[in-house]
Amino acid sequence: MKKSTQEIISYFPSLKDYLQDNENILLTDEALSKLNDTEQVFLRLAWFFENPDKENFNLETIYKKLDGEWLSFALQVIFEFFEKDTYLLQETKFSVITEGSVYYNLADFARYLTNNGCEFSRQKLNVYVKRGVTPDPDIIVAGVRYWAEGTVESFLHYQKVASEQQLTYNDYRDRNLKTVCKYCGSKKVRLEYNSYSPKQDKVKCLDCNREYYVN
């Protein structure tokens, strides 16, 4: 089951019983007839997420049948599908801000690094930013740069394990983006570089918590 589908099922547990009912028209019509408009939209979304090569989803149904929090949730799971369940959104300069989003300004960024074992003053980090050593900010509001929590964590990890190998942050980021867990297929992985034995770099999956070594 795709991560985006799991997110839908967490809000609509009863829809799990209908995930296979799109295999023929009679079952599809029967399943939809038992649901209200909101449930129908999210079931159709789940069908599409699970089999995007064969299923279609019409955005008009979101426009006509959802509003408020359910509209926001639908857009969130669609973004999650393209970001986490496919390889189509590996890197983007656009940022979707949700209620649970955490962003750091320059001072917060430096404080986070220092509190987690990498001594960085605000001035030192500002120099790194000007030299292009740090990740690009995820959003800029009124001229103020902000980095997403995941970006800050990634740079911290880079400072601890990859900078010793004279990798640039962009090289480190690109290699991480191309790496997926060989067990569960997740792209949420961390590479731990071994400077003594480059053929023994370790991959740690943040979803299934498994570790293994790669060349």
Q: pLDDT tens digits, residue range 55-67?
A: 889 999 999 999 8
| CATH architecture of the domain formed by 100-178 | Orthogonal Bundle (1.10)
- Please give the pLDDT value at position 198: 47
CA distance 66 to 38: 7
Structure tokens at 184: 């569960």
136-195 tens-digit pLDDT? 898 887 788 899 888 898 888 888 766 566 667 777 777 776 778 888 888 777 766 554
Q: Which pLDDT score is estimated for 164?
A: 61
Dist. CA 157–CA 172, nearest whole Å: 10
Laid out side by side, the sheet with 189-192 consists of 189-192, 201-205, 211-214
Angle (CA) 110-113-117 rounded to 5° is 140
How far is 49 from 180, CA to CA, in rounded Å? 19
Q: Are 120 and 110 in contact (CB under 8 A)?
A: yes
Confidence of residue 5 (pLDDT cuts 50, 70, 90): very high
pLDDT band for position 196 (cuts 50, 70, 90): very low
Q: Is the pLDDT at 34 greater than 80, yes or no?
A: yes
**How does the average pLDDT of the chain come out, rounded?**
82
Domain borders along the chain are 3-85, 100-178, 180-215
Distance CA(104)–CA(153), nearest Å, equals 11
Q: Is the pLDDT of residue 197 over 50?
A: no
Task: Indicate if the alpha-carbon torsion angle 9, 18, 86, 184 is positive or negative.
Answer: positive
Q: Which pLDDT does position 166 carry in this prediction?
A: 66
Res 12 pLDDT > 80: yes
Lowest-confidence range among 20-24, 25-29, 97-101? 97-101
Query: Residue 125 above 60 pLDDT?
Result: yes
